[in-house]
Amino acid sequence: MTKPRVEITLCPDGPILIRGADHIIDFDGVAHSTIRPVVAVCRCGKTGRTPWCDGTHKLL
């Protein structure tokens, strides 16, 4: 059985876009399930929805 392909894209001055993952593990080792085919993970550290990007980086 082959594993699904996961793609990671770094957005300039924005989040990390992850395609094809079934979960994301945060800094504390907590697994967060993904329900969408593409998820945006925060890189600025200012989100109110850790680990997901909420667009706060646009205000910085």
Q: What is the 3-state secondary structure (H, E, C) of the chain?
A: CCCCCCEEEECCCCCEEEECCCEEECCCCCEEECCCCEEEECCCCCCCECCECCCHHHHC
pLDDT at 60: 79
pLDDT at 32: 97
User: Is the pTM for the entire model greater than 0.95?
Assistant: no
State pLDDT tens for residues 1-60. Answer: 777 799 999 999 999 999 999 999 999 999 999 999 999 999 999 999 999 999 999 997
